[in-house]
Chain A
Amino acid sequence: MSAATTPTTTPAVATRAVTALRTLISPRGAVFLLLAILLVSITALNPNFAEPGQLIRFVQRVSPIAIVAIGQFFVIVSGEFDLSMGSVIAAQVVLAGNLIGQDESKIVPVTVLMIVVGAAIGLVNGLVTTVLKVPSFIVTLGMMLALLGIVYYVTGGSASGNPADSFRELRRGGIRDVPVVGIIPWAVIVLIVTLAVAILISRSPYGKTLIAAGDNVTTQRYSGVRVWWVKTSAFIISSLCATLAGILLVGYAGVHPSVGRGYEFIAITAVVLGGVVLGGGRGWVVAAVAGAFTLEALFTLLNFADVPSTWRDTIQGVIIIAAVAYSAVAFRARRKVSAPQASPSEEKEPDPDGHPAHPAPHTRKSTEVD
């Protein structure tokens, strides 16, 4: 992370500080720098924001987006897209609203059903992508249209159903009477647990295989990886994350088929802000979550700065292009620097004009794990 370095002067620490600084300006570190700058600016405009209670509310607000970003991370890092996440959220919200109703005894079975449905959607997305070889963009686009169509058909396009309050508690409530922050919302805990699991997954052999499959499918296939299953499970993770976000959003936004609209693009934006490369093979899940926080912090800042909310999209557009352009340029620059190190006898290549998807091996290794 944005390793806070203490200003000691021993050489070892100095080099570490330099490394930390370099990480901060590298694409995957830049998001933390940007986040810090945004948070400081928000606090400058509105000192109340720095109060622990306010901060925890901020985290609570971001958590559904962050969870969706975690799901999208796994799909993108494996080299695919998931455009169906928003409609999975809508479907799950409507499912919860209509099936649970005011009957508290149904909470557990319906939750199980939602998880099964989520996993099934991911399985279909994954299998059609990997077995039928349809580009995931098209598969998940089709899934998005189909799910939204069903959701609107079932609901008639209006709000319907209202799950029991205890189900909504997950989004609204939390551990009360905690010193300093007052209340730790369940949503924050869910986010922390999800992130922890995601980090574990991405560090496990499976996670590394997933990233490697995103980098080069052919080598993975030759090394005996069941690529179809690795990618399919990424889609399942993604749909399950969308389900989780849906469960959180029921309590917050209520039951309406438009809940979750645009989440897939927000999630992709967040992931890309976190320096994750579209096309797969490179990325860090924590940076993806930081991307979600950065996006929300940006909107909060615009809000406090009295910028009309209609400009949000424009600024989001500029930021997303700038972030990706920056990482593309930075990776190319790194390649230029690192190429002679890797093979000192070779001449410095004058024109690494090709797409920056294949950096020097050691560059990649450093981006995989923390």
Chain B
Amino acid sequence: MSIDASVRPKRRVRLDSTVIVYIALVVVVVVGAILVNTAGRNFFSTGNIRDILTGMSVLGLVAIGQTLVVLTGSLDLSVPYVISLSSLIAAETMRGNPNNIAQGVLFALAFAAVAGLANGLVVTKLKVNGFIATLGVGLIIKGYLDTNYKGSSGSVPTEFQYIGATGLGPVPISTIIMLALATLVFLFLRKTRMGHHIYAVGGSLEVSRLSGLRTARPVIVAHIICSVMAGLAGLLLASRLGVGSPTVGSQGGYDLLSIAAVVLGGTLLAGGRGSIWGTIGGVAIFAVLDSVMSAIQFNPFLKDVVRGVVIVAAVAIYTGRGLERRRARFSTKEVSR
């Protein structure tokens, strides 16, 4: 213990929480690979890598958007229903006809953007807590889904199904799209004024307001991007299933899992601190855990137990560090952000 304490201060200066996430990812991969090998399988086989990367793509898309929302200090619990409805809108608009692909994608994303706008406006203009606002908007969409769709509906042309089914070597196209979007959002957060405002509003709403920011805009923008990302996830799922499904979002549990991935990636739930790459690392940890547990034929129900423990343990580690880092917040090194 005493040795630890003397080493710690040095490490703390260097290690960013994103780095820790990737160290954790490496540890999970190594331990997982050993476990999978003892079960007589090859963790690094092309098929397995492809499965893990495929598993990352949908949750990754949702979690990228969720990161933005969490950074502003809000939440988005409506994503599962946005996912489901946009998959349905896309599949019903396309009706198996390749000429309708663009239209289907457009309609689905337009709906998603409207849902995000609604979330953002309720949070900022009506001053409703993000938890309640997005829970409410989610329930509204869920009621619509339950009333109008009894089962899967519409169909997606084969050309569109390729997006979910093909890949470059072991890397699926869907994962490439997800990573490309992650890069875009990363640049958005890093390079644009709005990106910086998202951090500022999440760090302190009051201080941002007193500094002359229009505090509503970053929150609304974050919510719109988040919902559009969920819409993309819905499109991807539609492309995989070949149809639109009213339950595909809620079955995946994407609301809570994406928040868990964001937090696992080192983003503060209270907002203002975090990174996209951390989130992608969190998503990767989930995907690797899933794959390893399937490979060693771990009881599927107990997977959730492991997930739950991992989430809480990870956040406990971050917050333990975060509280100490807080003090250094106004030191000269913090200018970078």
Q: Which residues of A contact B (CB under 8 A)?
A: 81, 128, 132-135, 137-139, 141-146, 148-150, 152-153, 157, 265, 268-269, 272, 278-279, 308, 310-318, 320-321, 324-325, 328-329, 332, 353-356
Contact = CB atoms under 8 A, between A and B. Distances in A.
Given A135-B319, A142-B308, A321-B137, 10 more contacts: A132-B319, A141-B259, A142-B311, A153-B302, A310-B147, A311-B146, A317-B138, A320-B139, A321-B132, A325-B128
B315 interface: yes
B126 interface: yes
A312 B135 CA distance: 14
Q: What are the 4 closest A-B residue pairs judged by CB atoms, nearest first?
A: A314-B143, A317-B139, A149-B304, A145-B308
B323 interface: yes
Contact of B147 (A134, A157, A311): A311
A211 B146 CA distance: 38
A272 B132 contact: yes
Given A146-B305, A311-B143, A153 B299 contact: yes
A272 B299 CA distance: 38
Interface string B229-254: 00000000000000000000000000
The binding surface of chain B is classed by DSSP as: helix
B132 A320 contact: yes
B143 A321 contact: no
Interface in B57-103: none
A141 B309 CA distance: 10
Contacts of A138: 260, 263, 269, 311-312, 315
A324 to B, nearest CB: 5
A153 B302 CA distance: 6
Contacts of B126: 321, 324-325, 328-329
Given A278-B131, A321-B132, A313 B303 contact: no
A269 B128 CA distance: 13
Contacts of B147: 308, 310-311, 314
B205 interface: yes
A317 B135 contact: yes
Interface residues of B, number: 46
Interface in B107-158: 122, 126-129, 131-133, 135-144, 146-147
Nearest to A81: B131
A134 B209 contact: no
B304 A148 contact: yes
Contacts of A144: 308
Given A141-B308, A149-B305, A308-B147, A132 B316 contact: yes
A315 B299 CA distance: 38
Interface in B170-228: 205-206, 209
5 contacts: A143-B308, A145-B308, A314-B143, A320-B135, A354-B209
B307 interface: yes
B20 to A, nearest CB: 16
Nearest to B142: A313
B139 A310 contact: no
A281 to B, nearest CB: 13
A314 B139 contact: yes
Interface in B19-63: none
B128 A318 contact: no
B320 interface: yes
A325 B125 CA distance: 9
Nearest to A132: B316
Given A149-B301, A354-B206, A313 B146 contact: yes
B267 to A, nearest CB: 11
A279 B128 CA distance: 12
Nearest to A351: B209
A367 B83 CA distance: 40
A278 B127 CA distance: 12
Contact of B312 (A139, A149, A265, A318): A139
B313 to A, nearest CB: 8
Nearest to B306: A149
Nearest to B253: A145
Contacts of B323: 133
Nearest to B143: A314
Contact of A146 (B129, B133, B304): B304
A137 B269 contact: yes
B132 A278 contact: yes
Given A137-B269, A149-B302, A317 B143 contact: yes
Contacts of B122: 321, 325
